[in-house]
Chain A
């Protein structure tokens, strides 16, 4: 079987202790939340931190506070199984739905919301065992020099594969990052960078401690549609997250659309969102045009499941399906 590499396990008893350890060790350490992404990656030697900082003892990271009227703060260690239910399902059903589509029920009982946001980017040349990667001379993301999906490229095209990230971006959520030096709160969209290797703006000494959902506005509607091979288990090859605010008369007053799994970070479909403002979603022509515009930001590469041409071709259809869900 695959064995984990050797590492040191640290179990801080408090948040200050945790960020002190992360500050002391810097890139030599990684926080361990649910471990459903990191641990298999370690077995495959994709990530080999010398130190793991276990977060399971930190009750503060599990706290949930607020409500639909005030906004909701979810501790980063809130499990995806909890995000599927409770206050999130009541106020932000699109996020609950995104969480419910991650992997499988046993994994969602362990995996956390913070972990899903910090999910390592994925690529079919990278998500392989050590021997497999050795057989291709490794890749740019780890130990090699070439990006095999785009051999002329000087950047890594590994794919942001989180289901919750595009929804949180569309909802305008924020995250808190805590370090020894204090904490900062940034929009979720700013957590991500367009690079398969340095895909998070989180510094190694920072801990993502909380996710903040803004208050639910009158007329708010949101949807998440996920494309993947199978109805369970699989990562997305496309995720369409859309959030609109409708006037009493049904006209779109504000819109935000993000596509997941078609780039190294959630891709914002601004032109599509702008197009929707002032228009009515009940008009199928409007949906189709917005979907066409949204699909333009989908720039998939041949490094996930299913064929590239097909994924490009159906992006518009899936964007339209997400927008139709907003009609209600």
Chain B
């Protein structure tokens, strides 16, 4: 069998291979003659999208379905004294009212943060925390009855900001965490940074703030649940993580996992906003169990803002020592406003430091991170998860450093780029890197060298670069099990069905699955039927986050398809009396490469294989390589490989009003290989859009009322009209350059594209504003009043004035690779001591 594997076209890598050396950047693309990979083929699911036939979660209903509304807390922080449903139950058409008493078990996305109840039990922690659920014959009745549920609160002091959280020991929002109202503190020293700074030629310090913002998917969350006659609970929900919902429902409702089915239909956008298991998903399942009827909930836009789990507002302080033009020591401190619950927060805070090292060489690195609890909707993962904030800081910080050093910031970045095949200061392993190629591409396309600084007052160019993970190296909840699986079923008509637990959030994962299977088996993409987003019909895939689906599901698909191809080759070889090693799979046929007329149709080959050894079904799975960091906390940041991006932004700034108009953006993205270049460009432009929208206007901001009159702490603008995001009007032309340096870790060499291109946009804009007006806005979003304030300021800067005092724990000491060590901390055991006052 080994022979024919080598003879057939094999562009893809082996799926479970851990640690093969990466090819050099610029190496020739492997595997010419691909039929589907790299071709601008129509996406397999696009016809339904444009004709309106695709069924999203809210399109699902069942005969006799009831409707559910959640009663949400109207106070930001309080003990929950009583919930009286009697008046609501008296409303005609109301079937049941659920309260916290029906949900004694806590759940949460991360094993270390099981801090949510589907309905609040003892406390409410933000305006919007659900306290009851009303189930009625129709949605309007449920909505009207929800207003009749009487809730008695004993208000507690409200904590609105990280500064207040750090300063408040009592009351505590949660009774766990690394300090009162501090969810998580992390501290790492990768070498002695203070010593490095002491020996530096120059030391630079900056403070930055990145405002919180939310995902704003067009599709609002909706869920439908029912109980089969055999007792199986099915939940259809707009989720990026069907298997995490599955797990959370099993836990919170104490149900056997084998009796739960979660279906994730195609989504109208997620961006990380549907990556937590949500209270409404669990409550709607319980409501179906209690009433015996299908129950549906469709959230309002306002409720989507309250679900949130979006970008953490982050304060940052960066310190960098430079000697002979290179970074000898770099320090990052971050304080995150986590909102009311843990969510992905432990990962989020690590991410504000984990990828600081993978773009530019730095000898030593120091990171401190702090995530606080506040009485606001919980923050979590949004496109770029925890990394856009420090990326903004780092790229603006470097722009300032280059200005002081008198060097071109593009040249500095090119000169200092982390080379391929490097284990960096915090032990992340960089394999291929297109960073230099991306920088050179945008420098050339934008006319950077000729135009920067020469566009006249009010017009400027800014550059920034970045990196992002292609899938996370460690699974949050599933230990050492594979991160994904693909199952194939080949039928006698030549059709192929690919089953996988991944769900398509619009990023095109269904298309990736079909085209990879088609490529390996030599059939038309349209002959591959994909069945995804269903925990009962496909192997586990962890979900659409971390830019992990293409690399993980893709490699699993290659493995499953190659196994199928092996079976067909063996059967076809017998039938054709040709050595299997001479068989080629292409054009819907299996044929002898030396005599192409001699062959079988693909369907005939399937039939022969079925006759030979029974039903043709194969499986494939994928686990990422073992991460190189071996210190505690080093599980956040490792990735099979990293993508790289660079962008140049051209801005026109109105000096009289501070208004900004972005004229053009050039963006280059190191994608390894574009499996579908049109879809890939769409992902790039979508990321640029989102990054620019964050950079110019988006703000998940909250409002306090005069404290003497009100305790309120409410979302400032939970509507698509008043939560400002870019429209077509503000969106400039985007010139997209795909840098293709295939990476051995990716399927056919592909890296991620869904998140990375967002990252350089906010800092490139800030740097362009500096080029235009000579000011520094060290904050996102860069709104007109900040531009005017910076123009009026003596230091020509607008940004955070101070960085809070944080009770940092003793750091983990991890020598960087070039200072010895093995990726472990030298003081791990000693540090197990907890902070005074902290509970385990």
A232 contacts chain B at the CB level, 8 A cutoff: yes
Which of B139, B697, B705, B730 is within 8 Å of A148, CB to CB?
A: B705
A132–B727 contact, CB under 8 A?
Answer: no
Contact mask A1-38 → B, CB, 8 Å, 1/0? 11111100000000000000000000000000000000
- Bound CA–CA A328/B263 (angstroms): 62
Per-position 1/0 for B797-824, Cβ under 8 A of A: 0000000000000000000000000000
State whether the Cβ of A142 lies closer than 8 Å to any Cβ in chain B: no
B721 in the interface (beta carbon within 8 A): yes
Interface assignment of A127: CB less than 8 Å from any CB of chain B: yes
A11 to chain B, nearest CB (A): 22
Question: Which of A135, A146, A231, A314 interacts with B75 by CB under 8 Å?
Answer: A135
B668 within 8 A of partner (CB): no
Asked if A136 meets B718 with Cβ closer than 8 Å, knowing A3-B139, A232-B727, the reply is no
Decide if A305 touches B724 in the complex (CB within 8 Å). Answer: yes
**Contacting pair A231 B785 (CB below 8 A):** no
B-side interface size class:
35 or more
Query: Is B714 touching A230 in the complex (CB atoms < 8 A)?
Result: no
Say if the beta carbon of B230 comes within 8 Å of chain A.
Answer: no
Shortest distance in angstroms between A51's beta carbon and chain B's nearest beta carbon? 18
Interface residues of B in 820-840 (CB under 8 A from A): none
**CB-based contact B729/A231 at 8 Å:** yes
| A86 on the B face (CB < 8 A) | no
A66 interface residue, CB < 8 Å from B? no
User: Can you name the residue of chain B whose Cβ is closest to the Cβ of A311?
Assistant: B785
Q: Is the interface of B mostly helix, strand, loop or mixed?
A: loop
CA distance A130 to B658 in the complex (A): 35
Could you tell me if B302 and A131 are in contact, using CB atoms closer than 8 angstroms?
A: yes
The residue on A at minimum CB distance from B726 is A230
User: Once the chains are docked, how many angstroms separate the CA of A127 from the CA of B719?
Assistant: 9
Contact of B220 among A1, A6, A314, A318 (CB under 8 A): A1
**Is there contact, CB below 8 Å, between B72 and A6?**
no
Interface residues of B in 551-567 (CB under 8 A from A): none
Q: Tally inter-chain residue pairs, CB-CB below 8 A.
A: 87
Is A181 part of the binding interface, using a Cβ–Cβ cutoff of 8 Å? no
Q: Are A146 and B709 in contact (CB under 8 A)?
A: yes
Q: For the complex, what is the distance from the CA of A306 to the CA of B727, rounded to whole Å?
A: 17
Known: A129-B718, A146-B709, A230-B724. A135 touches B729 (CB 8 A): no
Contact between B139 and A1, CB atoms less than 8 A apart: yes
Instruction: Give the distance in Å from the alpha carbon of A305 to the alpha carbon of B719 in the complex.
Output: 12
Cβ-based interface call for B788 (8 A): yes
Q: A1-B220, A151-B709, A229-B697 are in contact. Are A234 and B721 (CB under 8 A)?
A: yes
> Cβ of A313 and Cβ of B788 under 8 Å apart?
yes
Question: How far, in angstroms, from A129 to B127 measured CA to CA in the complex?
Answer: 13
A310 contacts B788, CB within 8 Å?
yes
Q: In B113-133, which residues have CB < 8 Å from any A CB?
A: 127
Q: What's the Cα separation between A254 and B719 when bound, in Å?
A: 43
Instruction: Tell whether, in the assembled complex, residue B298 and residue A137 are in contact, meaning their CB atoms are under 8 Å apart.
Output: no
Contact bitstring A94-124, B, C-beta under 8 A = 1, else 0? 0000000000000000000000000000001
B712 touches A136 (CB 8 A): yes
- Asked if B728 lies at the interface with its beta carbon under 8 angstroms from chain A, I say yes
* Complex: A277 Cα to B722 Cα, angstroms: 39
Q: Quick check: A132 and B724 within 8 Å, CB to CB? A: no
Known contacts A136-B710, A310-B785, A230 near B716 by CB under 8 Å: no
**Chain A residues in 8 Å Cβ range of B127:** 135
Cβ–Cβ contact B140 & A6, under 8 A: yes
- CA of A135 to CA of B76 in the docked complex: distance in angstroms? 9
Query: Nearest-CB distance from B141 to chain A (Å)?
Result: 9
Does B601 sit within 8 A of A, measured CB to CB? no
A132 contacts B718, C-beta separation under 8 Å: yes
A233 to chain B, nearest CB (A): 6
Residues of B within 8 A of A233 (CB): 721, 727
- Whole-angstrom distance between the alpha carbons of A124 and B721 in the complex? 11
Residues of A within 8 A of B139 (CB): 1, 3
Answer whether residue B183 sits at the interface, using C-beta atoms and an 8 A cutoff: no
For residue B706, CB closer than 8 A to chain A, the reply is yes
Q: Is the CB of B657 within 8 A of A314?
A: yes
Cβ of A182 under 8 Å from chain B? no
Option from B656, B697, B785 in Cβ contact (under 8 Å) with A317: B656
Contact of A307 with B by CB under 8 A: yes
| B729 and A230 within 8 A (CB) | yes
- For this complex, 14 residue pairs linking A to B, each with C-beta atoms less than 8 Å apart, are A1-B58, A3-B139, A124-B717, A127-B719, A129-B300, A130-B147, A131-B74, A136-B712, A148-B705, A151-B709, A231-B730, A306-B784, A307-B783, A317-B656
- Seen from chain A, the residues whose Cβ lies within 8 Å of a Cβ on chain B are 1-6, 124, 127-132, 134-137, 146, 148, 151, 229-234, 305-307, 309-310, 313-314, 317-318
Known contacts A1-B220, A318-B657, then 5 further A-B pairs from the complex at CB < 8 Å, ordered by chain A residue: A127-B722, A135-B74, A136-B710, A229-B697, A234-B724
Binding site for A on B (CB under 8 A): 58, 72, 74-75, 127, 139-140, 143, 147, 220, 298-302, 656-658, 697, 705-706, 709-710, 712, 714-719, 721-722, 724, 726-730, 783-785, 788
Q: Which 6 residue pairs across A and B have the least CB separation, nearest first? A: A231-B729, A310-B785, A135-B74, A3-B140, A136-B712, A307-B785
